[in-house]
Structure 1
Amino acid sequence: MSPFELLQSVILGLVEGLTEFLPISSTGHLIIAGRLLHFDSEQAATFDIVIQLGAILAVCWHYRQRLGLVLVTLGSRSDSRRFVLHLMLAMLPAAIIGLLLHRFIKLYLFNPLTVSLALILGGCIMLFIERGERPVRIGTVEQLDWQDALKLGCAQAVALLPGVSRSGATIMGGLLFGLSRQAATEFSFFLAIPTMFAATGFDLLQSWHALSQEALLFIAVGFMVSFVSALVAIRTLLWYVGHHNFRAFAWYRILFGMLVLLFFTYIA
């Protein structure tokens, strides 16, 4: 692996890990970073899929005790079964729409123009939602009912459009539906586990042929960087939502989206 390839792997791993769970769209940032680094081949698509696993495992590691308790008590505690049922229910909208439109989305929407417009529009929607304080009726993830879980799943499904942000759509949907910032953020993390495992597994089955022994070291570096940086991002965001709103992320999306639009329209 050449020094430039090592740099590519580290940068893309950082981009994935730092943006996957922030409401700013990891897919959008990876598309842009890949274009700027001239890393947009079929192998690049497979690399992007694999390093997502690093980010997913970071969530599992952060919540390992809580998830372990759910698994151990699944047969004996109703709250554990309800937690798993809510995650499965919330997964359904994105899974159904993704299966139906996967090819169309990959072919026609994975481009800088779509990403930039989604970043800008998503930032404006976040500012609208954050205009004032909303009444909180759900303080913790455990207080969700199945209707809340399904509504959050529908919100997450909007993020199938590149640039929207899976975590951003889920968190903002949660705020609209009466969840506290902490509950909305935590549920977006938990929902990421089955959703991203399913999506990553589906993509890997289709892209497995593009993996080669020569690419394994390149992928391994990106995977580890993604894991560590995602763990940092998760813990930072959980601290952040306890003290701040999401307006800073909204303005970042708008400004970054405008820069991307200008760059790929007039320069690239």
Structure 2
Amino acid sequence: MQPIQALILGLVQGLTEFLPISSTAHLVVVQNLFGLTEPPVSFDVIIHLATALVTVIVLWSVIKALKFKQLKLIGLAMIPTGILGLWLNQWNELIFGSLIFTAVTLIINGLILLLPKFIKVKNNPLNGQSAVSIGVAQGLAVLPGVSRSGSTIVSGLLLGLKSEEAYNFSFLISLPAIAAAQVLQLKHLDLVEAEFVNFGLGFIAA
């Protein structure tokens, strides 16, 4: 992997992770568009940890103020996320990296993002049922092309949450999800082949 590739992929990850567009899909598209070689799994771990760190920094005041009830709701959301994530991971080699599959899911993701335009603003509290539903949306976002933040925020809005609460909960549940996903990737981590300069560039760019 060349330094310029590390910078490009890091920038794509950083720019798309916090927008309601799929960062995974855009990484796939950029790799194919520029003919970039597929980066090692360890690089993927690094750039995702970078965006997770940014999330912690941005939401630190919210994280510090979390109460047991809110932590319990985050835990409930992680149950369907984990189940769906592990199940869909079985088809990892088949669906990840496929431009056709990515194109279809990007279209579906775009349609999902239009849904809030057709709903009335409500002020329902976040409860166990809505947390599980948002967790399902996050689990489905394992698919490249489906935005994790977009699907979870839209799910929250459809369930009647205020926009700020939907946004905060979406990014709060992203932290354990990203951490768990990267722990699963550690079995593929090869520090012998690690390109620390490129990894550093990708981390900073993301």
Q: CA deviation at 1:224?
A: 1.5
Whole-Å separation in 2 of the counterparts to 1:213 and 1:99: 27
One of 3, 8, 11 as aligned partner of 1:6: 3
The one-letter amino acid paired with 1:85 is K
Aligned to 2:105: 118
Aligned to 1:136: 122
One of 183, 195, 198 as aligned partner of 2:165: 183
Change (3 A) 1:155 1:101: closer
Change (3 A) 1:156 1:213: closer
Change (3 A) 1:6 1:45: same
Whole-Å separation in 2 of the counterparts to 1:125 and 1:45: 29
Q: CA deviation at 1:30?
A: 0.7
- The answer to whether residue 122 in structure 2 is matched with residue 161 in structure 1 is no
One of 39, 43, 51 as aligned partner of 1:47: 43
- Native 8 Å contact 1:156 1:169 kept in 2: yes
- The answer to whether residue 188 in structure 2 is matched with residue 207 in structure 1 is yes
Whole-Å separation in 2 of the counterparts to 1:66 and 1:185: 12
TM-score of the superposed pair, with normalisation by structure 1: 0.71
SS at match of 2:37: coil
- The answer to whether residue 142 in structure 2 is matched with residue 152 in structure 1 is no
Aligned to 1:259: none
Q: CA deviation at 1:133?
A: 4.1
- Native 8 Å contact 1:134 1:175 kept in 2: no
Q: CA deviation at 1:160?
A: 1.8
- Native 8 Å contact 1:23 1:168 kept in 2: yes
- Native 8 Å contact 1:89 1:146 kept in 2: yes
Q: CA deviation at 1:66?
A: 2.9
One of 19, 23, 37 as aligned partner of 2:20: 23
Q: Which has the larger radius of gyration?
A: 1
Whole-Å separation in 1 of the counterparts to 2:45 and 2:103: 21
SS at match of 1:131: helix
- Native 8 Å contact 2:76 2:131 kept in 1: yes
Change (3 A) 1:219 1:37: farther
- Native 8 Å contact 1:8 1:37 kept in 2: no
* Per-residue deviation, residues 201-226 of structure 1 (Å, max 9, x unmatched): 111x22212x4365011011101211
Aligned-residue CA RMSD (Å): 1.8
TM-score of the superposed pair, with normalisation by structure 2: 0.91
Structure 1 stretch 217-226 or stretch 129-138: which is displaced more? 129-138
Gaps in structure 1 of 5+ consecutive residues: 71-79, 227-268
The one-letter amino acid paired with 2:158 is L
Whole-Å separation in 2 of the counterparts to 1:54 and 1:21: 12
Aligned to 2:63: 67
Whole-Å separation in 2 of the counterparts to 1:148 and 1:200: 26
The one-letter amino acid paired with 1:172 is V
Structure with the higher fraction of residues in helix conformation: 1
Whole-Å separation in 2 of the counterparts to 1:134 and 1:222: 41
The one-letter amino acid paired with 1:37 is F
Q: CA deviation at 1:52?
A: 0.5
Percent identity, aligned pairs only, is: 36
Aligned to 1:224: 204
The one-letter amino acid paired with 2:95 is L
The count of residues paired between Structure 1 and Structure 2 equals 205
Aligned to 1:109: 95
